[in-house]
Amino acid sequence: MEKSEKEVMIKELNEKFARARTAIVAEFSKLNVETVTRLRKKFRDSGVDYKVLKNTLARRAAKGTPVEGVSDDFKGPVAIAIGYDDVVVPAKILQEFIKDLETIKIRSAVVEGKKTDAAGVAALARLPGLAELRAKILGMLTQPAGKLVRTVAEPGSRLARLIKARAEALEKTS
């Protein structure tokens, strides 16, 4: 790889690292192509970047970014999962794959600028994602309105049922 190519790669990585809200460094070995393809597709579909790192270039790119805290873990065969929006998604995807495979190990992560270990990533993966939280909040907001509508409508419903019952009773007597 030529020096100009390396400089371009460092610049691209630096921009990604600067925007990252979550960056998880994972050690991998003996992964087959099918597994890596499934993992990459899952990350891509979730808006997460997954990149196998050239360690020296990645350490240079991490300088001055939130990812600098985990740059010491850029040794050996490592990849990084970078999340830009939802901090939970990369952790959930990796934890799901780790359940099935023993060849992927999480070394460390940076979440919102704070370094954490593999146990911290596992705890993060158990948290609800941004979409789940939004759905819960929406449900909590609409629940009182629904109760209000049912409460306001109930007297009218009772009156309608009473009139209908009275009409049916009159029809039976006549």
Nearest to 78 by CA among 103, 97, 61, 95: 103
Separation of alpha carbons 88 and 127, rounded Å: 7
Three-class SS state of 79: strand
Instruction: Write the pLDDT tens digit of every residue in 12-69.
Output: 988 999 998 899 999 887 788 888 888 899 999 989 999 888 888 888 898 888 888 8
Instruction: Write the pLDDT tens digit of every residue in 111-163.
Output: 888 898 988 888 888 888 777 878 888 887 878 877 777 788 788 788 888 88
Q: What is the CATH number of domain 3-127?
A: 3.30.70.1730
Beta strands in the chain (DSSP E): 22-28, 48-52, 78-83, 104-111, 114-117
